Structure 1
Amino acid sequence: MESQIIAFCLLAMACTLAMAFEPSPLQDFCVADYTSSARVNGLPCLDSKLAQAEHFTYSGLHLAGNTSNPLGFSVTPVTVAQLPGLNTLGIALVRFDYAPWGIAPLHVHPRATEIITVLEGSIQVGFVTSNPDNKLLSKVLQKGDVFIFPMGLVHFQRNVGNGNAVSISALSSQNPGIVIVASSVFGSVPGIDDDVLTKAFQVDKSTIDNLKARF
């Protein structure tokens, strides 16, 4: 009986882990049908007889993004929203462009692990482990270097050179999502109560109001 209970627990754990990630496709492909009103976890499938090569093709990652913003940073995503053939396949790509000293601010991908490759320049990357350690793991990457941001952990990228920098990332979800820490905390709609934020950050209300005004 004890061995049966252990086997059951292991099976339950395996099922839980399997459900934590996007399901494996049950057909060769499932081109996203943007026009369908069907409610599913993802996007419904276009009739496979209507599939074209264009559904699996994206052009534009060779083009530099516009970094003329306060962060000096630009994102060119290739998720299921841009490439319908990605639907159900559990992958996505992103091109990042950085002006000199531009930064991708602290953020989280709630549904994906990310692997970043530097194509040009020198980029500092880092992520913070979960409680209770909250350890920062950070490194300056050069052209051709690769780094991994585990799923759900706060991370950042920063160009530490005087020239432009470029990186490309692969993510383990067709729709990885992004939660920018500062925007989420100080720019939510409706806003989080000042009392909550002052206690959480151990600062006075004027500091919180100043931060909220920026977002």
Structure 2
Amino acid sequence: MKKLTRTLLVGVSALVALGTLSACSGGSSPEATSSSEPGTTTATASAFPQSARFVADMKAADGKTMTIGISVDGTKVAAYACNGTNDEAWFFGDQADGKIDLKSRFRDTLSAEFNGTDVAGDLTMDGVAYEFTAAPATGQAGMYTAESDGVRASWVVRQDGSAIGVQFSASSVGDITQAEIQQLEDAAFRSQVRNRRLIQQADQITRLSNGAMSSKINGRDVTPTLVTGSFRLG
């Protein structure tokens, strides 16, 4: 009887040891699983400050360059991107929980989030994709715009005081109706509508001794104004 008891104890001990070894190996234990399910993402966005500006230069894989400015006031967001020669895009809307997801009237897209310090995101303009990390802008840095006789010039002023901007005067879309425009695929829309805007390099923007900004539109003096998150084009 004692021999049988000892045999059973040995068997039980072996099973316990085997179970412990299997659990430590992690090879097939059901408890050895990932802490998150495939396809899920961890929220990293932080709440925006009540009022803030951000600026970034970026370059696409094809070598094209673009500069973007972003301004936030409460939930309101305004953003402007341009290449300083012949392309620009304005974005207006709201941010929620530190995230921005906007589309321009010419089907460009802006998606970004605030990480507590910078705004990191993706910009697509004229079918070209850019990635950026925009640092906080202080002092005179930010977006500026001015209008004269129906012509608008807009700039992004970097933290070092240098500026980049373009001037938009008109669009030429022929006899295409609004209904037809709505039906155009993106590639056709870019060639027939978006890229038929009359855009050129803007005059340089300068800072006056009193701190105000100054420039010209078609030879006329203008005073560019700082773009806030609540700014909207008419």
Same fold (TM over 0.5): no
TM-score normalised to structure 1 length: 0.24
More strand by share: 2
TM-score normalised to structure 2 length: 0.23
More helix by share: 1
